[in-house]
Every structure is written in structure tokens, then in C-alpha cells.
Amino acid sequence: MDNINLVDTFSEFKEFKNIDRETMMRIIEDVFHSMLTKKYGEDSNFDVIVNIDRGDLEIWHYREIVEDGEVEDPNTQIAFSDAIKIEPDFEVGEEVSEQIFLSDFGRREILSIRQNLVSRIMDYEKDNVFKKYKEKVGEVVTGEVYQVWKKEILVLDDEGIELILPKSEQIPSDYFKKGDTIRAVVLKVEVRNSNPIIILSRTSPTFLERLFESEVPEIYDGLITIKKIVRVPGERAKVAVESYDDRIDPVGACVGMKGSRIHGIVRELRNENIDVINFTTNENLYVQRALSPAKITSIHLDEEKHRADVYMKPDQVSLAIGKGGFNIRLAGLLTGYEIDVYRDTDSDTEDVALQDFSDEIDQWIIDELKNIGCDTAKSVLELDVAELVDRTDLEEETIREVIRILKSEFE
């Protein structure tokens, strides 16, 4: 194996790993200097010259010429009789330079050089990947699905770098197969067993925020600010926005003409319902807006306990709660208030409070019904059995018995 073969071999490896030529040459120099130190004890009197243009390297050994018999360190000194064999004109006290070839090293040393080069290049590549994606945390990246497993998806970016999208960071209705293009936000970068692991997410609020930035120029330019985002991935999201320019309607700008801007985001998020509301420091109004699309009759806030008692007409309660309770849950997360919804009983004087049936219905069942906004008999009877089963943890048989008891009150 000669010098050119060694460098050419790793030049090919360099191209595959996308390492620039100068860095590759520096790594080769460092590896050879380390080998020389190990073999000779020091490398200060050696020069490793890497010829970038020719793609080869030279190793030169410099020693001082001393009288025969006065050599104390053969690494830094050479006897006069040996020096004149290299060049007859040398004299004592001069410095002699001698080229060293790979053939002068043993097989083990050459194998060690190759292994060290491979190790150094791999470490460099790993460090580059880590630094690159550490700076991309919070940014949206696009890649191609390479492998789909039960617990995660392996994605390759345009440089062939491996990215991981765990099942926990996928929208429940996500379905990808090999070759699909996927968009996600870089959630975090970890190091496992010395390897950089890039974790992606499609469920993070940051992903939704970046999608809005890409679809709404006013957000990207800073004319509209996203104050807070809360979401149940694949189901519903609420986004509070604010504009410091009175001429700009932040909600209208985010939704776009006939929903043109928000439709793209909704499709990307598998038809996730997105409510965009105007942010306000008026907490009373903020809670009302957060419960959209439900309309409120009155509201009482306890700012110290961060509780909100909201009253509304019976036909608005189900809107406030939302399918699966997502609407009221997200409204609470957005505003920071624990929201309780009550029916405005003034409009329905013939109704009976559910609590009045505590002697016939177990308290835990009453509490379960109250949790979905049903605090009166008629509010329960307005919903069919299937919807009550879907929105509560109650069995169908239990619900039918509750309905029977409530109906008997009005017969």
C-alpha cells in the first residue's frame, strides 16, 4: 500500500460523507502525527505534508547530524556516517531530512492508521450532524419516510441524515408509508451511545406555530404575534393572536379569504379543528372568546383561584363542552382558568337540578354528567344515549337507567 492509495481511499470516503477536502486533509495530518508520536515518542521533528491537489501525502523526518558514536537520541540525531549515505555533502551540525514511506511501517501500524481515520471521520460527521440540528430545534424540516416501525418512523433528510418521528409525536390519524414526504418540527437532539438522535414532532404546538408562520406573512413579518397555542393533536387547537397595528385584523389575516390560509394548515394536521381568537388582557372577555363558538349569557371570575363560572342557554352548553370535552379543556389551558359551565336556568324554570336526584342516582354518576355540562335533568334528556356514552365513562345500561329516572320526574 503506498501513500496515494491510502489518501485516494479516504478521498472517496470523504465524498460519501460530505466532508470538505480541507477538513479531510487536516484529519489525515492529525492521525499521522498521533501515529508518529506513538512510534517515536514525539512528532516535533516530523512534517506531514498533505498535497490537496495531487491527493497524496509526504512524511519527512528531520534529524541533527552528530559525530559517530555521539548519537544520544536516534529520533532527533543521526550519525555522520549514516547522514552521508543520504547526501555525501552533509557536515556535522547540519540538519538532514529523510522521507518516510508507508512501506517503512508494519502491517499493524497501517491498519491502525486506517482504523483511526475511519473513527475520526465518523466522529466528525456525528459532531456535524449534532451541531447542524441543534441549531434547527424548533424549525420545520421536510424528509422522506425510509422505514416505518411500530413505535417510530425513520425519516431521511435531503442529505441522507436519519431523523426519528416517534409514535407519541405523531397525530393519531397520521398514516405514512415508505417514500412519503413528511413535514415535522425538530423537537430535540439527543446523544445516545455517542450517536446524535434527532427527534421530530407533529404534535408539538411549535409545529402549528411554524405552519402559521409559513402560511401567514403578517406573522412571519412580526405584524401579528401568536400569544399562545394549545392543542389536542388531530382533534382541536386554539390559537390566541394579537396585532399591534389597529389596521390589521389578526384573526382575519390568519384565516384568510374564505379560509384560504388556514385550510392548508388544517389539511397538514389531518383536519384538526383550529379556533383562532383575538388575545386580550381583559380576562373576562378572554374566557368568553376561548369558549367560542359557544355564546355566554354571563360569567363570574375568581381571579385568585383562577376559576370561571360560565352561564349560558341550554342549547349552547354542548358547543361550549365540545366533542369529547376538547373545547372546554383547551379553553381552560389557553386562559389558565378552570372553567365550569352552567345552564342559565332562568330560561327554563320547569327544569330540575340534577343534584336533586342524589337519593336515586349515585353521586359519582351525577358528577360524571356534570363534567360534560349536564347539571339539570332536561340537559341530560336533550342528549341521546349514544352521545352520552361517547362523552362520559358511563356504561349504556347505567345511562338508560338514569334517563328512566329523569323522565319519570316529568310524567
Q: What is the pLDDT of residues 381-397, one digit of tens each?
A: 888 898 888 888 889 99
Judged against a pLDDT cut of 50, whether residue 85 lies above it is answered with yes
Q: 187-193: which pairs have CB atoms within 8 A and are 24 or more residues apart?
A: 187/137, 188/137, 189/130, 189/133, 189/134, 189/137, 191/130
**Averaged pLDDT, 19-46:** 78
**Lowest-confidence segment of 195-209, 215-229, 298-312 by average pLDDT:** 298-312
Place of cell 360569567: 299
Name residues whose C-beta falls within 8 Å of residue 217's C-beta, 6 or more positions apart in sequence.
none
- Rounded to whole angstroms, the Cα distance separating 269 from 240 reads 18
Judged against a pLDDT cut of 80, whether residue 351 lies above it is answered with no
| C-alpha closest to that of 315 among 288, 282, 340, 348 | 348
Specify the pLDDT at position 235: 93
Strand stretches in 103-175, DSSP E: 140-148, 152-156, 162-166
Q: What is the mean pLDDT of the chain?
A: 86
CB 326 within 8 A of CB 338: no
pLDDT tens digits along 40-51: 777 778 888 777
Q: What are phi and psi of 232, to 5 degrees?
A: -110, 105
- Rounded to whole angstroms, the Cα distance separating 176 from 379 reads 42
Residue 27: CB atoms within 10 Å: 20
Q: How confident is the model at residue 348 (pLDDT cuts 50, 70, 90)?
A: very low
**Cβ-based burial of 91 (10 A; exposed 0-12, middle 13-18, buried ≥19):** exposed
Specify the pLDDT at position 53: 60
- Rounded to whole angstroms, the Cα distance separating 380 from 387 reads 10
* Strands 140-148 vs 77-79: parallel, antiparallel or unpaired: unpaired
**Cβ-based burial of 254 (10 A; exposed 0-12, middle 13-18, buried ≥19):** buried
- Rounded to whole angstroms, the Cα distance separating 200 from 140 reads 9
Specify the pLDDT at position 48: 82
For 376, which DSSP code? Answer: B
Q: In terms of pLDDT, which residue wins out, 317 or 288?
A: 288
Judged against a pLDDT cut of 60, whether residue 15 lies above it is answered with no
> What does the radius of gyration of the chain's CA atoms come to, in whole angstroms?
36
Alpha carbon 211 to its chain's center: 14
User: Could you tell me the pTM of the whole model?
Assistant: 0.69
Specify the pLDDT at position 261: 94
| C-alpha closest to that of 1 among 79, 57, 46 | 57
Q: In terms of pLDDT, which residue wins out, 204 or 107?
A: 204
CB 155 within 8 A of CB 162: yes
**Averaged pLDDT, 26-55:** 77
Backbone CA torsion sign across 316, 322, 328, 331? negative
